[in-house]
């Protein structure tokens, strides 16, 4: 690298979510969330990525009858709830100046509809953020990362119900008041667009409650609309309570390539890319894109959207756009005759030019650069990569070392492309790698799909010492941060 284009104030760190890390699912007054009913599902068929996420009414009923934490791994996480000081010290040793975490809504409002928050939940996050500040780690806090109170799913149909907006806003106001002075970077909904892929996990929408697929789809659009309104209201209250703080939205960036130069393939890929950016169009530009409104109309969907909703969405757009990036995908008008690949996010046509991870996700560092440029050219707001990484199985050697060169290769190639995107003119605020310490997988609830620089001695069944160990990549990332990205070797 000749010149270093990473800005001096670049935010370097990692990301985790409460429901995949904390454990302590029923301690200190915490209520059940949608994550506490998610079961262990080892790798499922490529064609069936949606099955990884499926939760139905019977599953909820069964989950409520048991305290089991083996079959429900998110209930145990990696015990971050009790070990956060040790983990933060390791992040500080790597040089993190930012850490993305989420607040479990159910630690503060166990059912979501209480009038006052649970003091023990408030105290936990205060202690967490205070310790982060002490270590000069800026908290980047997601308000909702697949952690909706289960009670709101059962009593209100999740986000399909308008009542949930008020309950979410009440929760946001409490946390803004409580953590002002400690938290300056906020995100509303993790991968808000993921409601189309896993409506239950993202928005508490149980598809089987609806008469048919069409009605379920209508409920999904309604739920998403309510989240857009809630996010705008969260931004409005953040402006009032912590005027200097920044609010972002969060998009799953999937880059779609056309399979050939056949104009029909090109058009299909363009449409997929536009669909991918639907939520960020709303949250950054402040308006529903016409193609989505026309789609809703064509389908005969009756989505309740008041003028007041639309003016909130218009007036309270975000300060920055954050994104996850894991893979690109090929679109083809002949998709049904092609070999497929799949991640936790999407499935599509296999790209012959790309390798895949052990879990079938296509590894495409250049796609990250393409995605960043597309987003910046479209929105002209600062971007923040808040998730990127590769799930892999790690081996602990006889001498206790973990030589995860594959992970270093993955990050190195992605950071190189990120650097080039900055050189291309993209305003990038920071980078938080996903699962900087091994955590429970969101889609399959596995432990053995590891993303971390720090190994956690726990297996898929919760057995192990939970001791933390530095992997080879720990030292590599430390050097990257120390040199502000100048040394990626």
Task: Give me 370's structure tokens.
Answer: 């393409």
Binding residues for ligand BG6, rule CB under 6 A, total 14
Among positions 391, 430, 462, 485, the unique one binding ligand BG6 when judged by CB under 6 A: 391
Min dist. Cβ of residue 438 to ligand BG6 (A): 11
**329 versus 422: smaller Cβ distance to ligand BG6:** 329
Segment interacting with ligand BG6, rule: CB under 6 A, options 127-135, 239-247, 291-299, 442-450:
442-450
Catalytic residue among 22, 218, 259, 387: 387
Catalytic residue among 22, 147, 191, 217: 191
Residue 339 bears catalytic tag: no
**157 versus 438: smaller Cβ distance to ligand BG6:** 438
Residue 93 bears catalytic tag: no
Segment interacting with ligand BG6, rule: CB under 6 A, options 94-102, 377-385, 439-447, 454-462:
439-447
**17 versus 94: smaller Cβ distance to ligand BG6:** 17
Among positions 102, 201, 273, 324, the unique one binding ligand BG6 when judged by CB under 6 A: 324
**Nearest residue to the partner ligand BG6, using Cβ:** 443
Got the DSSP string for 367-433?
HHHHHHHHHHHHH-S-EEEEE----B-----TTS----HHHHHHHHHHHHHHHHHHHTT--EEEEEE
Residues 6+ apart with CB under 8 A from 308: none
Among positions 101, 381, 442, 456, the unique one binding ligand BG6 when judged by CB under 6 A: 442
CA 190 to chain centre: 4
C-alpha–C-alpha distance, residues 138 and 158, integer Å: 31
Contact 162, 169 (CB under 8 A): no
Got the DSSP string for 155-205?
HH-GGGSTHHHHHHHHHHHHHHHHHTTT--EEEEETTGGGGGT-HHHHH--
Restricting to residues 449-478, which ones interact with ligand BG6 according to CB under 6 A? 449
- Per-position x/- string for 175-214, each x denoting binding to ligand BG6 as judged by CB under 6 A, each - no binding: ---------------xx-----------------------
Segment interacting with ligand BG6, rule: CB under 6 A, options 76-84, 157-165, 260-268, 434-442:
434-442
3 state SS for 80-95? HHHHHHHHHHHHHHHC
Q: Phi, psi (5° rounding) for residue 175?
A: -70, -35
**17 versus 132: smaller Cβ distance to ligand BG6:** 17
| Residue 377 burial (CB count, 10 A) | 11
Min dist. Cβ of residue 216 to ligand BG6 (A): 21
**118 versus 283: smaller Cβ distance to ligand BG6:** 283
Enclosing H/E stretch for 50: none
CA-based radius of gyration for the chain: 21
Task: Give me 128's structure tokens.
Answer: 């967490």
Residues that bind ligand BG6 (CB under 6 A): 17, 20, 190-191, 324, 344-345, 387, 391, 434, 441-443, 449
Catalytic residues: 191, 387
């Amino acid at each position: 690298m000749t010149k270093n284009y990473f800005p001096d104030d670049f935010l370097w760190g990692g990301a985790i979510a409460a429901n995949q890390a904390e454990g302590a699912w029923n301690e200190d007054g915490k209520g059940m969330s949608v994550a506490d009913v998610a079961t262990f599902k080892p790798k499922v068929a490529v064609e069936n990525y949606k099955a990884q996420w499926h939760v139905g009414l019977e599953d909820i009923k069964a989950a409520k009858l048991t305290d089991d934490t083996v079959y429900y791994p998110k209930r145990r996480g990696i015990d971050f709830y009790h070990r956060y000081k040790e983990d933060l010290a390791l992040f500080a040793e790597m040089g993190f100046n930012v850490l993305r975490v989420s607040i479990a809504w159910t630690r503060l409002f166990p059912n979501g509809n209480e009038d006052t928050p649970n003091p023990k939940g408030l105290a936990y996050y205060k202690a967490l953020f205070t310790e982060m500040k002490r270590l000069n780690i800026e908290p980047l806090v997601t308000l909702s990362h697949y952690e909706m109170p289960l009670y709101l799913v059962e009593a209100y149909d999740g986000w399909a119900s308008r009542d949930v907006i008020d309950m979410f806003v009440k929760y946001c106001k409490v946390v803004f008041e409580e953590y002002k002075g400690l938290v300056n970077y906020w995100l509303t909904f993790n991968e808000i667009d993921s409601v189309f892929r896993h409506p239950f996990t993202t928005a508490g929408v149980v598809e089987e409650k609806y008469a048919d697929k069409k009605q379920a789809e209508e409920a999904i659009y309604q739920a998403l609309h309510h989240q857009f309104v809630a996010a705008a209201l969260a931004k409005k209250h953040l402006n009032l309570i912590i005027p200097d703080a920044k609010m972002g939205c969060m998009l799953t960036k999937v880059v779609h390539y056309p399979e050939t130069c056949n104009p029909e393939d090109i058009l299909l890929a363009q449409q997929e890319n536009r669909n991918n950016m639907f939520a960020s169009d709303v949250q950054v530009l402040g308006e529903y894109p016409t193609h989505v409104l026309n789609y809703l109309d064509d389908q005969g969907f009756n989505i309740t959207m008041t003028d007041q909703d639309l003016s909130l969405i218009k007036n309270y757009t975000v300060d920055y756009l954050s994104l996850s990036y894991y893979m690109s995908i090929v679109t083809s008008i002949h998709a049904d005759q092609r070999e497929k690949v799949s991640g936790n996010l999407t499935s599509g046509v296999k790209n012959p030019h790309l390798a895949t991870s052990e879990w079938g996700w296509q590894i495409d560092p250049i796609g990250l650069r393409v995605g960043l440029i597309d987003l910046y050219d479209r929105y002209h707001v600062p971007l923040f990569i808040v998730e990127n990484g590769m799930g892999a199985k790690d081996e602990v050697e006889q001498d206790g070392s973990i030589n995860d060169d594959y992970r270093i290769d993955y990050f190195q190639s992605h950071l190189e492309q990120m650097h080039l995107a900055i050189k291309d003119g993209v305003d990038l605020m920071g980078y938080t790698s996903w699962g900087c310490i091994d955590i429970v997988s969101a889609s399959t609830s596995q432990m053995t799909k590891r993303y971390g620089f720090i190994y956690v001695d726990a297996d898929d069944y919760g057995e192990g010492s939970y001791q933390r160990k530095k992997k080879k990549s720990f030292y590599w990332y430390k050097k990257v941060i120390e040199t502000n990205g100048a040394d990626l070797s």
